Amino acid sequence: MSLSAPQGRALADEPARAPPLWQLIQAVARLVEAVQAGQSLTRLLEAVPPALRGGAQALGFAVLRRLGTAQAVRRQLASRRPAPAVDALLCTALALLLAEGEVSYNAFTVVDQAVEAAKRQADTRRQAAFVNACLRRFRREADSCLAAVAGDAVARWNHPAWWISRLQGDYPDDWAAILDADQLPAPMDLRVNLRRGSVAAYCELLARHQIAATPLGAAAVRLARPRPVRELPGLAQGLVSVQSATAQRAAPLLLEGLPATPLRVLDACAAPGGKTAHLLECAPQARVTALELNAERSQRISDNLARLDLSAEVRVADAGDVGAWWDGAHYDAILLDAPCSASGIVRRHPDVRWLRRASDIAQLAAEQDRLLHALWPLLAPGGRLLYCTCSVFRQEGAERIEAFAARNSDVLRCPAPGHLLPGRDGLGGRVGDNGACDDDGFFYALLQKSPA
């Protein structure tokens, strides 16, 4: 996971000199328009001016969680779809009205500032009166507008129709609870570097900084509320990293029970390096190779390792193109955190639902098969491969492993979590193999190669 903190209640901690709301609405509308055109919110936020970035991210998350409802309501208010910039601004404002109670602005202020945003932007200025009329009408007729779209699945669940249908097929008893869980802000979890201290000691350090937190497991700590990363004590010194509790399962699951002798380990799709670092924290003597196809993302692996005073061989390479990088020596353990739809981390990245297309899943499954097929021969007899994806879709999880095991007679299935789906208490324990969790959706399969 990246070192960006998840956002909770929008703008709850903004300073008194925060930018005016109309500027934030303009920024968020531009983000929404770009997401609808297929661009990643994470990359888009990097280009937002620093003074606006925190507020734009917080409000942007709130808007994207309600974009399906906002778009359906806009269709009730306007018979013809307006130009993209106007549509994005109008839907942004409607989503903020729908989020009243989560964001720290009342309805009157949202309408007033949305109209101001329209007036101050060249490609929306002429439609400021139209934006004003639509928003005021929605305030008058909110109940009837929402009743009119109540039968629209996308408006109800704020996910694409194909996504809803796929979850209904994969989890016929729990799909609705999964979609509801996707609407919740994600918790912020930390991984304590156990080479440098204990969970108890770090919780005491947080308490001295008046940061409330709860220990979750061997190395995991959950903050009572998300905070800017820069406020975390000891981060720069390598005492702690930001990583979800679910993602923290990977390294111990792969390494537990393997010989204590120096291991040769491959992290096949390693960026941004959180799992690479955790592998080294768990097995300091391991010789770890970390691969990443993208050179810019590869640098993030090196940066994270340097912060933690850890060392690995970091290479820019396609893990599936074995002939281009493998030296012929087999690995004792391979971590394959495969490229996937990211459908399990919608709480942290609410744009994902609007970026993915139904056709993406089959393409990603083919890539997952390619990597499994390419890497399995690199594993030593008796060695282990941990396959994981941050996806809730069975086609990217259980179905991939079932197909792979059916094609390879030397595959032994070891105990592993299987599918983990996001939720609090609404799933009633009926989630894949392991019940409900207040965290990300993930899939884990641990495979051992038969001894020679």
Active-site residue set: 390
Using CA of residue 110, residue 115, residue 116, residue 122, what is the dihedral sign? positive
Report residue 95 as tokens: 């989503």
Distance CA 130, CA 194 (A): 58
Q: How many CA atoms lie within 13 A of 365 on its CB side?
A: 18
Distance CA 16, CA 404 (A): 56
Q: By three-state DSSP, how is residue 288 classified?
A: strand
Using CA of residue 11, residue 16, residue 22, residue 23, what is the dihedral sign? negative
Quick check: 127 and 83 in contact, CB under 8 A? Answer: yes
Q: Which residue has the tokens 């009743």?
A: 147
Distance CA 138, CA 56 (A): 23
φ and ψ at 121, to 5 degrees?
-130, 130
Distance CA 107, CA 114 (A): 11
Quick check: 238 and 277 in contact, CB under 8 A? Answer: no
Distance CA 377, CA 281 (A): 27
| DSSP per-residue codes, 212-252 | -EEE-SSSEEEESS---GGGSTTTTTTSEEE--TTGGGHHH
Q: By three-state DSSP, how is residue 332 classified?
A: strand
Residue 255: Cβ within 10 Å count? 20
Distance CA 171, CA 177 (A): 10
Which pairs from 303-306 meet CB under 8 Å and 24+ separation? Answer: 303/273, 304/241, 304/272, 304/273, 304/274, 304/276, 304/277, 305/273, 305/276, 305/277, 305/280
| DSSP per-residue codes, 353-407 | HHH--HHHHHHHHHHHHHHHHHHGGGEEEEEEEEEEES---GGGTHHHHHHHHHH
